[in-house]
Amino acid sequence: MKKQTGEDIMRAPDQSARASGILREHWREGRKLAALPPDLRPRDRIEGYAIQAEIETQSDQPLFGWKIAATSEAGQRHINVAGPMAGRILAETVLPVGSTAAMAGNAMRVAEPEFAFRLGENLLPRPTPYDVGEVLAAVETLHPAIEIPDSRFADFVGAGEAQLIADNACAHLFVLGAPATADWRSRDLIEERPRIRLRGETFVGHGRNVLGDPLIALVWLVNELRQLGITARAGQVITTGTCHPPLPIASGDAMEADFGDLGQVAIRFE
> Which residue type is seen at 195?
R
Confidence of residue 181 (pLDDT cuts 50, 70, 90): very high
Instruction: Name the residue with higher pLDDT: 27 or 268.
Output: 268
For the whole model, what pTM was predicted?
Answer: 0.92
Q: How far apart are CA 113 and CA 22, in angstroms?
A: 29
Confidence of residue 6 (pLDDT cuts 50, 70, 90): very low
- State pLDDT tens for residues 218-236: 999 999 999 999 999 999 9
Q: Where are the alpha helices (DSSP H) in 143-253?
A: 161-166, 214-228
Confidence of residue 20 (pLDDT cuts 50, 70, 90): very high
pLDDT value at position 28?
87
pLDDT value at position 73?
75
pLDDT exceeds 80 at position 258: yes
Q: How far apart are CA 178 and CA 9, in angstroms?
A: 47
Q: How far apart are CA 177 and CA 184, in angstroms?
A: 15
Confidence of residue 204 (pLDDT cuts 50, 70, 90): very high
- State pLDDT tens for residues 28-59: 888 999 999 999 999 999 999 999 999 988 88
pLDDT value at position 8?
39
Q: By the 8 A CB rule, do 44 and 83 touch?
A: no
Confidence of residue 142 (pLDDT cuts 50, 70, 90): very high
pLDDT value at position 5?
39
Average pLDDT in the 244-259 region? 96
